[in-house]
Chains A and B, each alone.
Chain A
Amino acid sequence: MNKELFEYVLRVGDDSLILGQRLSEWCGHGPILEEDIALTNIALDLIGQATNLFEYASQIEGGKRSADQLAFLRFDREYRNLLLVEQPNGDFGDTIMRQFLFDAFRKPFFERLTFCTDMQLSGIAEKSLKETKYHLKHSSEWVIRLGDGTEESHNRIQNSLDSLWRYTDELFFENDVDASLLNEYHLPILSDVKQEWIKNVENVLNEATLTIPNNNWQFKGGREGLHSEHLGKILAEMQYMQRAYPNMEW
């Protein structure tokens, strides 16, 4: 089994799964009907991506665990998602800013992943890219309107940006997993992704009259399984049924 590739696929899959789970918490609680549906549509796109990626991860592992088992029966230290995606929904502005910072990363990431030499992974990237383009459009439009909206909306989404900025360095985390796969698989070079990310983020934030915080303190650890306390609570809710009634299906 290719351990590094397995790890890499889990990273992408866990980002989608955990953010999808987070967004689905909005179901029935959206600020307006239209936005309630929009957020849950995005949640479903992300869960769909996670399904494809976990099915592939399961294959790489030789079928030892099914996609469902990978999603629902790992412990928190085994999840490889970014700290950003596990942060609480907060208010609508917090959710939108978290989504924007993530989507702005995902788009250039998937664009490059479509060129990777692993056919499964490039196929998943191609499908996910179409969804991600819409997610980014949706979150960008909202960041601009909230930032350049009323004094109240401006201040609140500036606060969201200030508190989420510290999780953005981790988007570009790399370790020996990347190093060992990069050449063989033509995976995205994250420093290139970062250049495009910062350009797009700056453009949208400028239009939204928002300011990137000076505070340079950055958190990381998610990619290595060291999570914030929030992930435990997400997993407690997400895994409850499988833990309480093992192998249940519906």
Chain B
Amino acid sequence: MSKKEWPLWEVFIRSKAGLNHKHVGSLRAADAEMAIDNARDVYTRRSEGISIWVVPSAQITASDPTDADALFEPANTKIYRHPTFYDVPDGISHM
């Protein structure tokens, strides 16, 4: 028996209408159709979702952790990018 493994898939679930798909984990499957079936069985058994996306893990390009300083450090010193300097008038709810 060969030990060749099926490709890895990343699974994204939309928990309810209006929300975005969120990464929930990964699984192995022979093809996209089976990946959807497997995701349904593994990740939505407790009514976690109403829509599933699967993406071949090989298709994901990730940032290099050793680049973290160059990528993310500059944002740390720019707190003015957060809209936290406004006074919200009384009577405005849901902010």
Q: Which residues of A contact B (CB under 8 A)?
A: 32-35, 37-38, 41, 134, 137-138, 141, 145
Residues of A contacting B31 in the complex (Cβ-Cβ under 8 angstroms): 145
**Assuming A32-B28, A34-B27, is B33 touching A41 (CB within 8 A)?**
no
- Please name all residues of chain A whose beta carbon is closer than 8 Å to the beta carbon of B45 when the two chains form the complex: 37, 41
Known contacts A32-B28, A34-B27; A138/B37 CB under 8 A: yes
Chain A interface helix/strand/loop/mixed: helix
Give, as a whole number of angstroms, the nearest-CB distance from A146 to chain B: 10
Alpha-carbon gap, A137 to B38, bound state (A): 12
Interface string of B21-64 (1 = CB under 8 A from A): 00000011111011001101110010000000000000000000
B41 to A, closest residue via Cβ: A38
Closest residue of chain B to A137 (Cβ to Cβ) is B37
CA distance A32 to B41 in the complex (A): 12
Residues on B with C-beta less than 8 A from A134 are: 40
B41 touches A34 (CB 8 A): yes
A32 to B30, CA, bound (A): 12
CA distance A26 to B51 in the complex (A): 28
Q: Determine if A34 and B29 form an interchain contact, defined as CB atoms under 8 angstroms apart.
A: yes
Of the residues B28, B34, B41, contact of A37 by C-beta under 8 Å: B41
Q: Separation in Å of the B56 CB from the closest CB of chain A?
A: 16
- A37: chain B residues at CB < 8 Å are 41-42, 45
Distance in Å: Cβ of A43 to nearest Cβ of chain B: 12
* Max chain A C-beta neighbours (<10 A), residue from B31, B41, B45: B41
